Amino acid sequence: MKADLIELGVSQTTLGQEEKDFLDKNGYLNLGQLLSAEMLKRILAKVDHLLQKEGQMAGAELMDSPYIKHPKEAGADRLADLVNKGEEFDLFYTHPKVLAAMRYVLGDDFKLSSLNYRAAKPGQGLQKLHVDWHDTVEPGDYKVCNSIWLLDDFSAANGATRVVPGTHLNGLLPQNELADPFAPHPDQVLIEAPAGSVFIFNSHAWHGGTNNQTDQYRRAIHSYFCRKDQPQQVDQKRYIKDVTKNRLSKAALNILEV
């Protein structure tokens, strides 16, 4: 994997020391605006096309995964398996800054677990504070890590994701500690940032979507990674298409583990 990461532009300095320290302490990190206005326009056009094309079957690939408890979410629109749905999505799992963060959290041997779209519907989208793992882990022994790519400005009004800083270090699960995991947490931070921004989430930190109080969808794409010794949410080998294989470099295919 080290050679693949080097080929994809990752070095020991791709993530700065201040960024590493912040991620260590808080369990999340703002990488800034990695998507230009033109890139956002192309991605959103592709997403709209896919939603119209797939209709009621949008996100159906998630139904096949035994590792997603609630694949159909009433309060949000979903698309899944974006790896195979256009070159517009290649950047989401090959960007050197994101890969550097994943390497820092998960170690050298990691892979893409899934690449999905989620849009919180107007008046909906509230999630429990949760982690993306079934058990506690020792600090540093992390199994999963997520990146969220903002396709709209995120604000308190439109259901920005919340995270409780430092909870990846406490060895506790929110469902065991909170009387009401839906309620605001006194220490939570809302991820408010402009469209095109990318945030890294240590998936063992407590987090969740908040309620979208606007009349517009709040859209994002999640490129979710896991250690090589863990199962993928979406089995990349099962779904990979020849057109995708022919488009990607060997290093990128190794990130997919296909």
Nearby residues of 131 by Cβ (< 8 Å), 6 or more positions away:
173, 174, 203, 204, 205, 206, 207
* The model's pTM: 0.94
Nearby residues of 12 by Cβ (< 8 Å), 6 or more positions away:
none
The side-by-side arrangement of strands in the sheet containing 197-202 is 28-33, 197-202, 144-150, 218-227, 110-120, 76-79
Position 164 scores a pLDDT of 98
pLDDT confidence bin for 75, thresholds 50/70/90: confident
The whole-angstrom separation of Cα 215 and Cα 77 is 15
- How much of the chain, in percent, has pLDDT values that exceed 70? 96
pLDDT tens for 170-215 read 999 999 999 999 999 999 999 999 999 999 999 999 999 999 999 9
Position 67 scores a pLDDT of 54
| CATH number of the 2-10+28-256 domain | 2.60.120.620
7: amino acid identity, one letter: E
Position 2 scores a pLDDT of 86
Nearby residues of 53 by Cβ (< 8 Å), 6 or more positions away:
none
Position 72 scores a pLDDT of 57
| Helices 17-26, 96-106: crossing angle, 10 deg rounding | 50
Please, what is the average pLDDT of the chain? Answer: 94
Half-sphere exposure of 129 (CA within 13 A, CB side): 27
Helical (H) or strand (E) element with 256: helix 250-256
Position 57 scores a pLDDT of 84
pLDDT tens for 109-141 read 999 999 999 999 999 999 999 999 999 999 999
Domain ranges of the chain: 2-10+28-256
